[in-house]
Amino acid sequence: MYEPGYIALYRSGELKRRADALVTRLASCDICPLNCGVNRLAGQKGFCRSGRNPVVSSCCAHHGEEPVLSGTFGSGTIFFGNCNMRCVYCQNFQISQDPDTQQANEVDSHILAERMLYLQDELHCHNINLVSPSHFVPQIIEALVEAVPGGLHLPLVYNSGGYDSLETLSALDGIVNIYLPDIRYASSENAKKYSGVPDYVKHNRQAIREMWRQVGNLRVNENEIAYQGLIVRHLILPGGMAGSEESLKWLSKTITPEVTMSVMSQYYPSHQAVNIAELSRTITYEEYAVVVKEMEKLGMENGWLQEMDAPANYLPDFTREGHPFIAPDTDKKI
């Protein structure tokens, strides 16, 4: 029977040691590449607008993730509030970029541990899916230290925008089972303009290389449920703003053509994008076809392509009680 590596790290005391070291770093925060240097332990807040406690905006069984994550019972998704990026088109803007509404959702690490166990024991989810975790890594590992003696044994999914620190990722080696990063841009200029962060391409590519080193390509069990490995998500943006072809070439050459991909067509001009001319429309079939053709050319055959249907179906609403999603994703295998 598969046992996540974090359980052995707990038994040896290493998990607690890493949690303590990560929490210490909050005193002059360098948890993500922004290196704000604020004292989050004292309540100071930097770019991510987050202090000592994690912010949990939603906790649910998500049936719209990739099939190997959602399975039959759903992916045990914990949506963290705030973010270390400021994407002008963010579909989760209700929780990522509105700090006033997030104060009521602050919890401590004990409650976060309870949420993990609830997803496992009450909802019977296949994994614990940590969405936008980059700015709350210390708090997550603190919670894990409490959740393991409570019986937690599900794989951990690190579902990030891909703007992650190498030092922080190294502290997750052997803890995270499945990495699910975005490769959002091939241009740091576009990343700065549309997501508000510097040097995205450098940090993103370093992060994906490290994630690959830690977990390798995707592995699934006899029920086709993932238990370890890397899945790289890529959202096609209108007008080629994402640099899809360049990013795919980099992945094929630097990682492997066999890397598991999840290519998404669901872009919708959410949040501020409706007022930005180049981002104020959905993608075209022609733009979608260019990406599909490039994947075929590179021999990238593992993963999923989201079909070109009504993107509005994918928009979450975090004011809905219980579950922010109306309809699951529709993906076809590559």
CA-nearest of 297, 224, 294 to 263 is 294
d(C-alpha 235, C-alpha 306), whole Å: 10
The values of phi and psi at residue 229, to 5°, are 125, 180
Q: Domain residues for 181? A: 5-333
d(C-alpha 50, C-alpha 135), whole Å: 8
Query: How do residues 208-250 score in pLDDT, each as one tens digit?
Result: 999 999 999 999 999 999 999 999 999 999 999 999 999 999 9
Query: How do residues 5-49 score in pLDDT, each as one tens digit?
Result: 999 999 999 999 999 999 999 999 999 999 999 999 999 999 999
d(C-alpha 175, C-alpha 155), whole Å: 9
Percentage of the residues of the chain whose pLDDT score is greater than 70: 92
Domain count within the chain: 1
pTM over 0.85: yes
d(C-alpha 34, C-alpha 48), whole Å: 9
Percentage of the residues of the chain whose pLDDT score is greater than 90: 87
d(C-alpha 293, C-alpha 310), whole Å: 22
d(C-alpha 119, C-alpha 124), whole Å: 6
**What is the domain-level CATH number for residue 283?**
3.20.20.70
Distance set, CA 5 to CA 36, 72, 125, 172, 307 (Å): 31, 24, 19, 10, 35
Query: How do residues 114-148 score in pLDDT, each as one tens digit?
Result: 999 999 999 999 999 999 999 999 999 999 999 99
- Specify the pLDDT at position 101: 57
139 and 111 Cβ atoms separated by less than 8 Å: no
Stretch 261-280: mean pLDDT:
96
- Specify the pLDDT at position 92: 84
Q: How confident is the model at residue 334 (pLDDT cuts 50, 70, 90)?
A: confident
328 and 67 Cβ atoms separated by less than 8 Å: no
267 contact partners, CB below 8 Å, separation of at least 6:
89, 235, 236, 237, 238, 282, 283, 311
Instruction: Please determine, for residue 330, whether its predicted confidence score (pLDDT) is greater than 90.
Output: no
- Specify the pLDDT at position 220: 98
Query: How do residues 61-112 score in pLDDT, each as one tens digit?
Result: 999 999 999 999 999 999 999 999 999 999 988 888 876 656 679 999 999 9
Buried b (16+ CB within 10 A) or exposed e, 216-235: eebeeeeeebbbbbbbbbbb
